Each structure stands twice: as structure tokens, then as C-alpha cells.
Chains A and B, each alone.
Chain A
Amino acid sequence: MAQIKKANGIGDWFDQRLATKKLAKVMMTEYWIPKDINFLWAMGVVLVVMFKLLIISGIFLLMYYKPDAKLAFDSVNFTIMQEVEYGWLWRHIHAVAASFAFLVIYIHMFTAIYYGSYKNGREMIWISGMILFILFSTTAFTGYVLPWGQMSFWAAQVITNLFGGIPVVGDAVVTWIRGDFAVSDSTLTRFFMLHVFLLPLMIVFVIVIHFYSLRIPHVNNQEGADIDFDAEADKYLAGNKKESKVVPFWPVFLAKDFYVVCVTLVIFFFCVFFFYDFSLPGVNFEPANPMVTPKYIYPEWYFLWSYEVLRGFFFDIGPIKAMDIGLIAFAFANVIFVILPFLDRDPRVLPAHKRPRFKIWFWVLMFTMVILTIYGKLPPKGINNVIGFIASMTFITLFLIMPYITKKDAKGAK
């Protein structure tokens, strides 16, 4: 047993039992982050703040929400929005934070791609991050169903139906997910369980893994420079703070993050109070009605790009139905980002502007994602189908040629 002495203060009392001083060093004051970074490096902390806002607002909503197909809509739109003191505030925060979380996830993700922060030892950061993306997506989808509006119902109908494309067991899987032959009360209650319990629990668990996976390979920097963290940390601790290439997580890195978080929250709260329609679309303020199909069915904006890859293939090829090709493309789009580190055959960690071919690849990908997102919302008719198809093909081709392009870049550098 450790030597326990009479403590000379409450801090010391805890330190003797929990090694709090050591813990603070490991987690905060001697957790080293490169100095050569920009505001995009703050997106992780911004995401943590968004996730906290979602949890806190979600807890308040949970106190009045009723997961029952007959009661859900009114419990949200009457009880929470109009009866409970500041219920509307928690709902607006919850909905807008979901959109903001996805916007920040995408910025975070494309930052990692641009700076090559997913390879050479950082594969686990990337993969755990992509698992978080999938968990967030599932959470957002199950959450969108809970108010039981028209789009809640029909989005659930369309998305659960996709699993019917799985060979042999498809129909059984759809029934298993819905808990019924059609989307109904049993679908709502199980989505409720997933949204408020199982998925958030898994997210918290994977966030811990995501943070831990950063410690060994360290955070990347703007130039992809290979930093000797031990040597630089010694320099910093010796007082050569200006010369050292690293800064401690607390207070230096967080001082900058805190500023970026505040700027984001100004925009966030502006949206919560004055500009929320993008997160709370009108069509979902209409009660779910299984008898009336809405004229246009579309998912939330953050799913539109993969939804468009699904819809992009609008014609049959020989014996293969358009729907099946779309489903294969959709499955491809949802897993391909996970294996990105293994598609990149260039061993160097460099920002895209130092990799001539990859740079073009990156910007084409960015524009393709935006085009897919926009056309995922537009009605699928006429020229929209053609543009959607071309964008979907471009998306798939980009990933198929990635190994070749990155290899070429690596060769060109020698």
C-alpha cells in the first residue's frame, strides 16, 4: 500500500489517494499539442461542446416527451413547445445542435483528409472517428423519428425499407428493425430506446477511444512536420516557450479552442433563436399520417449526399434493377471513408497543397459532396437525375483511383 500521510490540504488529500496531480499533468498541462496549427484544430473541442449541449437539452426534453404514437406529436409540439417553461428553448437547442454537430463533423473530417491526418500511425484516430460518424448518424436518424411528424414517419418508412435490399433475409430484417410490418408505435418506442440510451452510451465509449487513440501518434500539424515531442516538451518546460514547437493542452491550446467555441456559439445561438428552419423544417410540424404520402420525401441535410448516391442510379443495367445498383453504391459510400487510410498509398504525411494530384482529388471530392448534397434534396426528375448520376459516378471513381493517384504523387516526390 502507498504511504498515506496526514494531508496538508484537500488537494493533497485527493492527490495521495487518486494521484490527481499526475493525472492533471497527463491529461492537461503536459499533454503536448503542436504549435503550428490553425482554428480547424479546434473542431474536436467544438464537437465536444455540441455533444454536451445535445445531452443536456436532451435530458430536459426527456422529462416531458412521451414515446407513444398517439401522444408523441402533441407532447413535443404542445407540452414542450408551448406549455413547459422554456421547453421550446431546449427543443430548439437540441435540433440546431444536431445540425451544427454534423456541420462540424464534416469540417473535422475534411480537415483530417486535407492534412493527411489519418495515416502513418493515425489510422485508429480516423477509424474511431468514422465509427463515431456512423453512431451520430444513427442517433440523428432515430431522433428525427421521435416527434412523430410527417417526415419522421416517412423518413423512417423509406430508410428502414432500404434494408429490404439485403439478399435473402431482407424482408425479415425490415420487420425486425420496425418491430412490425409497417412503421408503427413499436418502431417509435424502439427508436426511442436507441436514441436516448444505447446509442449515446456507445458514443461516449467511442469518444473515449477516439481521444485515447490520439495520445500515442499525437496531433498532426499544418505542415505535416515530424516533431520529436519529448525533446520539444523538454524545451517548453525549461522555459524556451517561444522556441518550442509544442504547447500544453491546458491552458495554451484550450485558450484558443475556447475562443473558437465562443465564436461558434454566437452563430449557434443566433440560429437557435432566429434562424432555425433549416433544422426544424415545416413539414415535420404536421402530424404523422400513414395514409398521406408527402409530395417530396428527403432526409435531413447531412444525409443528403449518401441519399443521392442511392438515388443516382436511376436505370436498370441488364438484369440488375436500378434500386439494387443504388443500394450497392449506397453501401459503398457509407463504408469507403472508413478504409481511407488504406486507399492512400503515399506514405508521407503532408497537407494537400504539397501533394499535386491529391490536391485536385481533394477539391473535386469537396465539390462532388456539395453537388450530391444539393441534388439529394431536389426532386428526382429530368436533368436532376443526370447530374445526380454523374456526381455519384464521380464520387465512386474518386475512391477507386485514390490508390493510383497517391502512389503517383509519392513517386513524383522522389
Chain B
Amino acid sequence: MRELKILGVVVFFTVFTYIGVNTYAYSVMKPAVAPADFQFKDLPRNDKIGDASRGAEVFMNAGCIGCHGLESQGIPAPMNDADAAASFGVVPPDLSNAGLIFDSHFLAAVIKNPAKAMLNDHKFNESNPHPMPNFYGLGGDIDQELADIVAYLQSIAPEKVSDEQVYVDACMQCHSIKYTGLMSNKDPILMAKYMGSVPPDLSMFIRSRGADYLETFINNPQKHLAGTAMPRVGLTQAAQEQVVAYIEYAGDRKKDERESLGIKVLGFMIILTILAYLWKVKIWREVH
């Protein structure tokens, strides 16, 4: 009985201290933010039903391929990476998978006004325009044209892509992951000029930030880092989960091994503890 009371005191002080220096302290240092919004509710809704074949026409006429490649349709990027980076600060992404990995509302909004949809209009304005110009329409109903372009991109997108491919399409424009050998091929000096600083390597982000933080952060970087130059890229929930899975692969690829070994070691220790208890009872029976 007395030992249990003492154990209670030890556990109380340990748990109290733990809650204070971890749960409580981190809640003060990293205040909670609203959950990720994969509907992108802040963007205008576009209820028009898009038509893929009209969309193909709009896509070609609107000048998209002046900067973006569409490898899967046999349209390579018009400039090589180095020239593109020198001209735009960043390499315009290939759009072959865009219809799959980016949210459709977001795609429509980002074509119309990139800086606004990406939430970096604090950085890009009239005197410093976004390298991707706003789309003002080809003369018809602009919402219909946007819906058509989105429908076209969705129609040419593959049914699924690998985690690595999502990462390449959505993140590697700026971020390297050296632990898997994916190096952003931009000149760091140009990158720093464009973004304000060199975007960090994401190799250990699964441990330095954690999956929960990445979920709200990638969905809307401004929530955690107000004023950051990092754009919201508008990934669907499924695509974002693939990105986080890839970052986890890069920085914590032994997770499965850790968890399965953990169960075995704990099982072994519990059996050993029971044996130790029985031995203790046997030995102490003689002296009590």
C-alpha cells in the first residue's frame, strides 16, 4: 500500500512536469490553427460545367504553352530550366498532372488571378507583378472559359501518379530533398532573389515539423507563417497526403520497422517483467 502511495507521488510529479513542459508549453509556443480547408472556401465558386474539347482550344489560344509544358501531350516546355529560372525567377511547372493533383476550384482561381489564389498578393502587386499574368478571358464568358480549361486539364491527367511525382510537380520548383536525391534545379541565388531566402531542404521536415503541422501548413502557409513568400499551391486532400507521405519516406523511412520491432520488444519486456516479479516474490518470501 505504502509503495503504491509513493509511486502515485512519483507519477504525479512526472506527469505534471511533462504536461507543463510539453503539452502546455508547446500550446503557448505554437498556437493551434483552424483545420486544413481542402474546399478552398475563400475562393470564388465557379459553377459552370466545363467542356474538355473547348478547353483544349482555350488552353492553346490563351498562351499557356508560352511558358508551361504539357509533356504527356507531346508539348515540351518552351524554355530549358536555366533560362526559365533566369526569366521568371521560378520554372513554370509542367501541367500534365495538374488536373489530378490540384483542386478544380483552385485551378480556375489561380488561372484567373495567380497571386490572389496562391495567397501571396502581399508580395506580388502592380509594381511587382506575378510572373504568371492574370487571365482576362478570350472575349467569351470568362467563367465558362476557366471551367473549360480545368475540364481539359482534368481530361488529360492520368488516373493516379506516384507520391514522388506529386512532390516533383507541386514542391520541387523550390524545395530540394537531398536525402532522396531530388534536387531543385534552380540556382540558389536566383531562388533567394525570387523568394526572399533560399527555400529550405525538406529532407527532415517530417521530424522537424511533424505531419500535423505539414497538413495545415501546405494547405495554407499563411496560417503558420503570416507573410511568407511560399505560395498556397492548391493540392487536393489526396494529393497533399501523397506529398506528406513522400516527405515521411524521405525523413522517416524506418517507421514501419520501428513500429513492428517496438511491439516485439515490448512483448519481450512484459514477459521478462512478469518473470522478474515471480522471482522477487520467491526470494522475498524467505525473508519476510
Nearest B-chain residue to A269, judged by Cβ: B265
9 A-B interface contacts by CB (under 8 A): A39-B3, A259-B273, A259-B279, A269-B262, A274-B259, A278-B22, A295-B29, A370-B20, A377-B25
Task: Please tell me if the beta carbons of A273 and B20 are within 8 angstroms of each other in the complex.
Answer: no
Nearest 4 A/B pairs, CB to CB: A273-B262, A374-B20, A285-B208, A262-B273
Nearest B-chain residue to A278, judged by Cβ: B22
* Interchain CA distance A137-B273 in the complex, whole Å: 30
Q: Any chain A CB within 8 A of the CB of B277?
A: yes
- B contacts with A: majority SS: helix
Task: Please tell me if the beta carbons of A370 and B6 are within 8 angstroms of each other in the complex.
Answer: no
Shortest CB distance B2–A (Å): 7
* Interchain CA distance A277-B259 in the complex, whole Å: 15
Chain A-chain B contacts (Cβ-Cβ < 8 Å), number: 132
* Interchain CA distance A111-B45 in the complex, whole Å: 66
Shortest CB distance A341–B (Å): 23
Residues in chain B near residue A364, CB distance under 8 A: none
Task: Please tell me if the beta carbons of B280 and A266 are within 8 angstroms of each other in the complex.
Answer: no
Shortest CB distance B252–A (Å): 8
Contact code string A244-283 (vs B, CB < 8 Å = 1, else 0): 1001000110011011011101100110111001101011
* Interchain CA distance A295-B273 in the complex, whole Å: 44
Task: Please tell me if the beta carbons of B269 and A278 are within 8 angstroms of each other in the complex.
Answer: no
Task: Please tell me if the beta carbons of A304 and B280 are within 8 angstroms of each other in the complex.
Answer: no
Among B2, B6, B204, B283, the one with the most A-chain Cβ atoms within 10 Å of its Cβ is B204
Whether A366 touches B203, Cβ cut-off 8 Å, given contacts A283-B208, A304-B21, is no
Residues in chain B near residue A280, CB distance under 8 A: 207
Q: Any chain A CB within 8 A of the CB of B286?
A: yes
Task: Please tell me if the beta carbons of A81 and B254 are within 8 angstroms of each other in the complex.
Answer: yes
Q: Any chain A CB within 8 A of the CB of B192?
A: no
Task: Please tell me if the beta carbons of B21 and A255 are within 8 angstroms of each other in the complex.
Answer: no
A residues near B (Cβ < 8 Å) are 35, 38-40, 77-78, 81-82, 88-89, 92, 103, 107, 241-242, 244, 247, 251-252, 255-256, 258-259, 261-263, 265-266, 269-270, 272-274, 277-278, 280, 282-286, 295-296, 301, 304, 366, 370, 373-374, 376-379
Q: Any chain A CB within 8 A of the CB of B43?
A: no
Residues in chain B near residue A282, CB distance under 8 A: 207-210
Which of B9-17, B103-111, B126-134 participates in binding chain A?
B9-17
* Interchain CA distance A366-B12 in the complex, whole Å: 12
Nearest B-chain residue to A301, judged by Cβ: B21
Task: Please tell me if the beta carbons of A377 and B21 are within 8 angstroms of each other in the complex.
Answer: yes
Task: Please tell me if the beta carbons of B24 and A259 are within 8 angstroms of each other in the complex.
Answer: no
Among B22, B24, B283, the one with the most A-chain Cβ atoms within 10 Å of its Cβ is B283
* Interchain CA distance A402-B254 in the complex, whole Å: 52
Nearest A-chain residue to B213, judged by Cβ: A282
Residues in chain A near residue B3, CB distance under 8 A: 38-39
Residues in chain A near residue B276, CB distance under 8 A: 255, 258-259, 261-262
Q: Any chain A CB within 8 A of the CB of B138?
A: no
Task: Please tell me if the beta carbons of B13 and A370 are within 8 angstroms of each other in the complex.
Answer: yes
Whether A77 touches B203, Cβ cut-off 8 Å, given contacts A88-B258, A370-B20, is yes
Whether A247 touches B273, Cβ cut-off 8 Å, given contacts A38-B3, A270-B266, A370-B17, is no
Task: Please tell me if the beta carbons of B210 and A377 are within 8 angstroms of each other in the complex.
Answer: no
Q: Any chain A CB within 8 A of the CB of B288?
A: yes
Nearest A-chain residue to B2, judged by Cβ: A38
Whether A266 touches B273, Cβ cut-off 8 Å, given contacts A256-B280, A274-B259, A378-B28, is yes
Residues in chain B near residue A295, CB distance under 8 A: 29
Task: Please tell me if the beta carbons of A374 and B17 are within 8 angstroms of each other in the complex.
Answer: yes
* Interchain CA distance A3-B3 in the complex, whole Å: 51
Task: Please tell me if the beta carbons of A39 and B7 are within 8 angstroms of each other in the complex.
Answer: yes
Residues in chain B near residue A103, CB distance under 8 A: 14
* Interchain CA distance A103-B15 in the complex, whole Å: 11
Find B6's partner among A39, A256, A265, A379 (CB 8 Å cutoff). Answer: A39
Task: Please tell me if the beta carbons of A273 and B17 are within 8 angstroms of each other in the complex.
Answer: no
Whether A377 touches B283, Cβ cut-off 8 Å, given contacts A89-B261, A269-B262, A273-B261, is no
Find A82's partner among B2, B17, B24, B254 (CB 8 Å cutoff). Answer: B254
